[in-house]
Amino acid sequence: MPARTDVRRRLTLTLTGFGALTVIVMLLAPLVGSTSISLSRVFDRSIPFSDNVDAQVFFVARLPRVIAAALVGAGFALSGVVFQGLLRNPLASPDTLGVAAGATLGAMLALTAHADFTIFGIGVVPLTSFAGTIGALAIVMAIAFARRRGTSSTVLLLAGIAIGALLAAAGRFIQYFADVTDTFKTVQWLMGSLDVGSYAPIVASLVPFGIACAGFVTLPRVLDLISLGDAAAEARGVDVVRMERIALVSASLSTGAAVSLGGPVYFVGIIVPHIVRLIVGADHRLVLPASALFGASFLIVCDLIARTIVAPVEMPVGIITAIIGGPFFLWLLFRGR
């Protein structure tokens, strides 16, 4: 590896490179699909939209899907990076801390109760799964930060695992009362789906994503310092308690929004940060934005493959992320170092 001295230069390079990748992928993805459509028909204003099949395929089926994939991929990648830094564990994923178990529980509750309302065009399941995330986060924070001195990553991890286990048990308890159809729907939800079919849930998710990003921008350098130990970070001038809270809330909001939008596709949150680190190094000022961009591109591409490779049917996107991500990661690991 060449001497890495100029962070500014490397940051520009990284953002340009990954940014260009993301833009290209986002522009091309809606053009590809299992159905052939003609772009001239898509943008033909003379055909009323309600009759224009090609336009509906582009604007209702594909474009929201690509945007959702970008947001979900970025959201999970970002929360993955932050959880890994917060817990000082490169194997941490968005669902390590139990906030994701809250999302699953919320979705299960909606499906088992046969709730079918929508609010402002957002379905009940995304709403309840997001509520579940927030609920779980509140519990984890209450436990982990009950100590006046703040938290060590061990306490946080234990609280998160305990809450995750409890919520998962609650989920199984609910399954007991579910009939076969509800169980089937839950299993489907667990496989993830980016086929949102409308813009309302995307717009709604921008609120928690926006708040999360406001938190994320304060974190890059801090994550570097915290990764050497809480005491060491304090000694360097980091307000560790405050920053860990910001990190936890931001990563949880990002996870919750992503799960609501696309289901529990957590693998993205483990693998993208690692791949990005192998390319740009460990400095979180590079890793954080690069992971967001690469996560977006990665999930868009995975979803594109999922919806075209076995046409006319589709595969669950979670399978593709694992099939692609795993070997890609191994290849990067063995070629360098």
Partner 1 sequence: MLEARNVAFGYTRGSRILDDVSVSIAPGSVVGLIGPNGSGKTTLLRLLNGTLTPLAGRVSLDGAALSTMRRLEVAKRIAVVPQETQVTFDFTVLEIVLMGRYAHLGAFAIEGPDDVAIARKAMASTGTAPLESRQFATLSGGEKQRVVIASAIAQSSGILLLDEPTTALDIGYQFEIASLLSSLNRERKTTMVVSTHDLNLAAMLCSELVLLKAGRVLAVGPTKDVLTTGNIRRLYDVDADVVFHPRAGHLTVVPVARAD
Partner 2 sequence: MAAVSRQIGLRAKGLGLILGLALSLQPSALFAQARRIISIIPSTTEMLFAMGAGDRVIAIGTYDKYPPEAQKLPRVGALVDPNVEQILQMRPDLVVVYGTQTELKRRLERANIPYYSYSHQGLPDIFSTMRSLGMRVGMAAQGEALAARLERQLAAIRAKVANRPRPKTLLVMGREPGALRNIYASGGVGFLHDMLEAAGGTDALADIQRQSVDVSNEMVLARAPDVIIELRYTDEAINRADLDVWNRVSAVPAVKNHRVIVLTGDQFVVPGPRVADAVAKMAAAIHPEVGW
Residues that bind partner 2 (CB under 8 A): 33-35, 49-53, 55-57, 60-62, 65, 110-111, 114-118, 122-126, 179-181, 184-185, 188-189, 193, 195-198, 201, 307, 312-314, 316
Q: Any residues with CB less than 8 A from the CB of 172 and at least 6 apart, and which?
A: none
Pick the closest to residue 39 from 52, 55, 56, 15 (CA basis): 55
In the bound state with partner 2, the residue whose beta carbon lies nearer, of 16 and 118, is 118
Site for partner 1 in 165-204 (CB under 8 A): none
Q: Between the CA of residue 81 and those of 101, 192, 222, 298, what are the distances in Å?
A: 19, 21, 12, 15
Shortest spacing between CB 22 and partner 1, in angstroms: 22
Shortest spacing between CB 56 and partner 2, in angstroms: 5
Contact 190, 104 (CB under 8 A): yes
State which amino acid sits at residue 149: R
In the bound state with partner 1, the residue whose beta carbon lies nearer, of 9 and 114, is 9
Shortest spacing between CB 54 and partner 2, in angstroms: 9
Binding partner of residue 245 among partner 1, partner 2, none, CB under 5 to 8 Å per kind?
none
Contact 94, 78 (CB under 8 A): no
Shortest spacing between CB 138 and partner 2, in angstroms: 25
In the bound state with partner 2, the residue whose beta carbon lies nearer, of 8 and 45, is 45
Q: Which residues of 154-169 are buried (b: 16+ CB within 10 A; e: fewer)?
A: eebbebbeebbeebbe
Pull the structure tokens for residue 195: 């086929």
Select from 13, 32, 231, 309 the one that contacts partner 1 (CB under 8 A): 231
Pull the structure tokens for residue 260: 């609501």
Shortest spacing between CB 199 and partner 2, in angstroms: 10
Site for partner 1 in 69-108 (CB under 8 A): 84-85, 88-90
Does the CA dihedral 151-154-156-158 come out positive or negative?
negative
**∠ CA 141-256-245, rounded to 5°:** 30
Binding partner of residue 225 among partner 2, partner 1, none, CB under 5 to 8 Å per kind?
partner 1
Select from 239, 311, 331, 333 the one that contacts partner 1 (CB under 8 A): 239
